[in-house]
Structure 1
Amino acid sequence: MNYAIVNIQGKQFKLFEKKYSYVPKIIVEEGKKIILNKVLFFSSEKESYLGTPFLNNILIEVEILQHLKGKKIIVFKKKRRKGYKVKKGVRPHFTKIKVISFIKK
């Protein structure tokens, strides 16, 4: 099975061909296709390539499927014996993507 390790907004993700993945929000309209070029590692059935730091001859075509929010993350701060308590919550934004194909130059 073909897969690649890609850098998206400073984080690394392992992407498989024709599979879905959730990544940090990419500001592109839903339904559009984009090309990812920051490929760190690529592996196929026969061979694998390691970039230094990125591979120049492999691109990944990705379709943006949906923008959504994740589960709420609670941030709670407290200082003992001072009466100080703060509770905040945040819902991170994600983008659901589907890998269409790996393009070798």
Structure 2
Amino acid sequence: MYAIVDIAGQQFKVEAGNEIFCNRLPVAKDSAVEFDKVLLIDTDGQIQLGNPYVKGAVVKATVLADDVKADKVLVFKKIRRKGFQKCNGHRQKLSKIRIDAIA
């Protein structure tokens, strides 16, 4: 059984027991979270497709860590023959969550 869920503006394919990293959620560590924006549910070949969301479907999750940083992304800018070079780095803050149940 899996579901496709909209979590913090991104779509994830989740199953019970999965641990995923998503954009930072405004909740504390070890708290329970419910996501009701379920786009699709597959239960042993039976597919329920939402329009845009499946009515009554909820994905329950637990926040394992609320302040994780992603890998660094380097942004390098250069203008040829002008002597201009600039390098910036960025690390996105993420939340690590564990999917408990799909109901």
Structure 1 and Structure 2 fold alike (TM over 0.5): yes
Q: Aligned partners of 1:55, 1:86: CA distance in 2, in Å?
A: 47
Q: Which amino acid aligns with 2:86?
A: V
TM-score (norm 1): 0.92
- Structure 1 segments of 4 or more deviating over 3 A? none
Cross-structure match for 1:30: 29
Offset from partner CA, 1:45-76 (integer Å, 9 cap, x none): 15111111111121011100013001111011
Cross-structure match for 2:91: 91
TM-score (norm 2): 0.93
Identity of aligned residues (%): 30
The answer to whether structure 1 residue 59 and structure 2 residue 58 are counterparts is yes
Q: Aligned partners of 1:16, 1:66: CA distance in 2, in Å?
A: 19
For structure 1, which runs of at least 5 residues remain unmatched after alignment?
A: none
For structure 2, which runs of at least 5 residues remain unmatched after alignment?
A: none
Pairs aligned (count): 102
Q: Aligned partners of 2:14, 2:55: CA distance in 1, in Å?
A: 17
What does 1:39-50 align with in structure 2 at a 5 Å threshold? 39-50=38-49
